Structure 1
Amino acid sequence: MLEEKIISIHLNSNNPESFKRFIESIIINTQNIKNIEILVSIDKNDSQMINAIEKINADNNNLIKYIETDLIKTFADAWKPLNILLDETSKTVKFISCMSDDIRFITKNWDTIIKKYENFYDDKIFRIRCSKFRKEKYNDIWQCGYKPDSYAFYSKEWLKIVGQWNPCIGPDTFQECIAYYLRSYGNIYNREIIDNELNFTGQEVSTNLTFELRIKRTRIYYKAFFILMSYKNQSLANSYAYEIIKAISDKKTLKIQTLSRFKTYYINLYRRLNFFYYRGSPNHFINSKMKNIFFILWCYLSFSDKYIISVMNFLNRKKYLDIIIKNKKKLQQIKKIINYNDPT
């Protein structure tokens, strides 16, 4: 008789080698692998990924289920298959997490740690925070967009109420917004469990990318940030938080908080002119209204990236960056990015 699936992990992948290492880290650190299911979205007709999955399944009793889609045209579309994976989750599953194939599990018997929280709340509506931002306290909704708890485990009941991972990039940031609004109704509605035992490596974002890909990813992240922070999606996150409250509370008189459309628009517009400061990077070199205006134009008008790359490579080779960028730590970070792709 097959054992029930208790924990479900969702992700996209088009990198067979990274995916295999991700799965290996799960297998060697899991107490009972039969209770785990991995749901992965791959590109249509990706034979290399299919072969990798079939080899893993041959030794691990069909640990992995996969779907093939052509939804992902660019990184901006990476969120789209995740809601399909949520619908494919086994009915017996109690905990669900959305991850990346860059992640490596390093905590032995991590699954038993997750399972011990099953009855933490009688109604089983909660999430378990275990990423590097597990102890982060959010005082501003924008913080949810740039340092979310990216690898939390959600109870199935939480996600049943919400009904989706996300309506935009990305599942972690959108769910963090829901948790933010949940707390805004009062600390008695805080359903977050901070776990200090689980640890992962590979939590860094946008590593091992060429300079050109980093530039494109930056443009995508910027646009996606304001889609997430839009009145439409923030209202949706607030409404989901209210639905969770209705499921856990007997206070029938509690009314949903109304977000101000004008205030949301105003804050987003005002902060665009000092974006990186409000996004948690106060020492970023794009630190004036004029620089931010040029950055906005570049993001939305899609100026040719090859010229930017050529200029940056030139400035780097001629040591002009050392003069322009005073912050030594930031200088080394930028040089590392440029040198990753500079053919000379």
Structure 2
Amino acid sequence: MIASILINSNNKSNLEKVFDSYEKKASDPKSFEFIININNGDIDTKQYLEEQIKKRNCSIKYIEAYEGDYFSGHINNNKMLDHISKESYFVSCTGDRVINKTEDWDGKLRNYKNFYKDDMFRIRCSSHKERKYFDFWECCFAPSNITFTTVKLIQIIDDLSPCFSHDAFQQCIFFYLESHDNFNSHQINRDLTAYDLSFAGDKPEEKGDDENYERIHGQL
């Protein structure tokens, strides 16, 4: 299995679009899986996912373990790691608005397998994939938020992130890996840029005043 795709969501409409975008453009729908984390007691979304499991050619799993609010995202992301296939090579923790735009995306992703002999790297696919980071704080406000990271690397880190948010935390890891010894001619860079994989939906939705207040208040 080439990838496990992790999503926290109870938005059936968005999930339908996500499932379609990956399944219909895959060369082998059996080569990847979705793991969805929903609220405990969310019967409506649970029934929807049960229907999807029966009709889809790709694997769909779900857990009922979502807790907290927006700033608990890293906790909920990590819960899904316990349910990924032992055969998965990459993990992608993403949102329910991220749509795959690439035909044969799974085949193209498979071409990156064993890119490094130690299997410790990730692939950047977001709108920030070409960004160069010169300061730690850049990782916090402009991280690559569509990535495929090797399972081996995630296992070494021990989880996706110990804090909010997982994409910023992981960007920091790759920033320090690359910049920790600037005067060494053998620079370590394991953050690959994918030009053959295209996605949409990585930019935040427009928020109202109340939602913006809650987000800013939570960050403070």
TM-score by length of 1: 0.60
Greater percentage in strand: 2
Change (3 A) 1:152 1:62: closer
- When you count helix as a share of all residues, which structure comes out higher? 1
Deviations 1:258-294 (A, max 9, x none): xxxxxxxxxxxxxxxxxxxxxxxxxxxxxxxxxxxxx
Q: Percent identity?
A: 31
Residue 138 of structure 2: aligned partner: 143
Q: Secondary structure at the match of 1:148?
A: coil
Q: Distance in 1 between matches of 2:89 and 2:97?
A: 24
Q: Encode CA deviations 1:135-190: one digit per residue, 9 max, x unaligned.
A: 11100000000000101110111111111111111111100011011112345321
Query: Do 2:10 and 2:38's aligned partners in 1 also have CA atoms closer than 8 Å?
Result: yes
Which one has the largest radius of gyration? 1
Q: Are 1:134 and 2:123 counterparts?
A: no
Structure 1 window deviating more from structure 2 (110-119 vs 62-71): it is: 62-71
Deviation, 1:8, is: 0.4
Deviation at residue 96 of structure 1 after TM alignment = 0.7
Distance 2:178 2:82 in 1: 27
> Structure 1 residue aligned with 2:60, among 64, 89, 92?
64
Partners of 1:64 and 1:210 in 2: how far apart? 33
Structure 1: segments with no counterpart, 5+ residues: 224-344
The answer to whether 1:210 aligns with 2:208 is yes
Aligned counterpart, 1:31: 27
Q: Secondary structure at the match of 2:102?
A: coil
Give the RMSD, CA atoms, in angstroms.
Answer: 1.5
Bigger RCO (CA 8 Å, 6+ sep): 2
The question of whether the paired residues in 2 share the 8 Å contact of 1:20 and 1:52 is answered with: no
2 CA distance for matches of 1:108 and 1:208?
29
Matching residue's letter, 2:129 = R
Cα distance in 2, alignment partners of residues 23 and 204 from structure 1: 19
Tell me, yes or no, if the aligned pair for 1:124 and 1:157 is still in contact at 8 Å. yes
Alignment partner of 1:180 is 2:183: no
C-alpha displacement of 1:204: 1.1
Distance in 2 between the 1:70 and 1:146 partners? Answer: 25
Q: Counterparts of 1:217-256 in structure 2 under 5 Å?
A: 217-220=215-218, 222-223=219-220
Say if 2:30 and 2:58, in contact at 8 Å, map to a contact too.
no
